[in-house]
Amino acid sequence: MNIKELEATIKKLAVKGKGILAADESAATITKRLAAVNTESTEETRRAYRDLLVTTPNINHYIAGVILHEETLFQKTLDGTPFPEKLKALDILPGIKVDKGLIILPNTADEQVTQGLDGLSEKLAEYKAKGACFAKWRAVYAISANTPSMLAIKTNAEGLARYAAACQANGIVPIVEPEILIDSDHTIERCAEVSERVLHAVFNALFRHKVQLEYIVLKPSMVINGKKCSAKATTEQVALATLTILRRTVPAAVPTINFLSGGQTPEEATANLNAMNAMSPQLPWNLSYSYARALQEYPMKIWHGDKNNIQAAQQAFLERAKLNSLAAVGKYTNSMEKEVSLA
């Protein structure tokens, strides 16, 4: 394990006030997102859209790393520079999604497990040679009366831990992403119960696989009610419940926790992150963001495949990144939504 490499990467990713952009949507997901803004998903539209994001002027003030899809890792920006090189020149670290998606876990109520461990070490070496400094693996848990089952929780934890160990052995910082879906009708209390179990199992597995917690990024969901739940939790309730569960389960050795947005609106994701940082300035970990939808929703809508809209889309992206950067230090207020001055 090359500790020096891991140290240099985590130091940059965990810097206070910066976050991570998740731009690693699989072909199926990006196609769905582009279709929603009436744009065809081709190799070139995907490249052009991601080019727009990473070449946004001043985005490096707020973004420390970008998680790329494998396709993008091997593509070039408009000026002919490979994406990883472009990012490094901007002092942004390139990362890579390495999981191979979800399959049904037999003998469960159609719960899912993440695949991609076969050949992972070789893939990591190849991605590293292309410039990737960190990686991402996402496990997914759906909440119902009987799920997630202990079998799904333990199997996914094992996958996350084996992936994280393989990353560190290759000098790559792993983002450990256990995503608890919010598209159900569960209460915030039920989400808290499930989150505690899931995170406890993840850290138990990381310990068994001797993963060095000092060199990981945890990317969890916030503790929040499901979208179909009639009792909507307030920002303060989400912040308090999330911090309570994180304090119970995440060792202080973990340097940074970068939340996913999970289908919250961009404004909610920013306000909830801000509330946590404002409520408790003395936390053991850095608390920041690794959003996909909450950073990309507005720029993608504005762009919708038209190159005449690139500048406006970049402005919207920069604005969202700046607001989240303020939230990562507890200095965001709702009134900034309209009057933010772009750096």
**From the list 71, 179, 185, 189, which residue makes contact with ligand 5MM (rule: CB under 6 A)?**
179
Is 71 a known active-site residue?
no
Q: Which stretch binds ligand 5MM (CB under 6 A): 6-14, 181-189, 260-268, 305-313?
A: 260-268
User: Which one, 101 or 284, has the nearer CB to ligand 5MM?
Assistant: 101
Which residues pair with residue 26 across a beta bridge?
Answer: none
Q: Is 319 in the site for ligand 5MM (CB under 6 A)?
A: no
**Of 48, 132, 160, 292, the one binding ligand 5MM by CB under 6 A:** 292
Site residue total, ligand 5MM (CB under 6 A): 14
262 near ligand 5MM, rule: CB under 6 A:
yes
Cα gap 272→107, rounded to integer Å: 36
Query: Does 31 engage in binding with ligand 5MM (CB under 6 A)?
Result: no
Applying CB under 6 A, which of residues 39, 114, 261, 272 lies at the interface with ligand 5MM?
A: 261
- Determine whether 177 is an active site residue: yes
Catalytic-labelled residue, pool 25, 158, 177, 319: 177
189 forms part of the interface with ligand 5MM (CB under 6 A): no
In Å, how far are 80, 200, 286 from 310, measured between CA atoms? 18, 43, 32
Are residues 53 and 317 in contact, defined by beta-carbon separation less than 8 angstroms?
Answer: yes
Looking at the Cβ atoms of 273 and 313, the one nearer to ligand 5MM is 273
10, 14, 22, 223: which one binds ligand 5MM (CB under 6 A):
22
Check residue 138 for interaction with ligand 5MM (CB under 6 A): yes
Residue 291 binds ligand 5MM (CB under 6 A): yes
Q: Judged by CB under 6 A, which of 5, 17, 29, 330 binds ligand 5MM?
A: 29
φ/ψ of residue 4, rounded to 5: -60, -45
Residues catalogued as catalytic: 177, 219
* Interaction site with ligand 5MM (CB under 6 A): 22, 24-26, 29, 138, 179, 260-262, 291-294
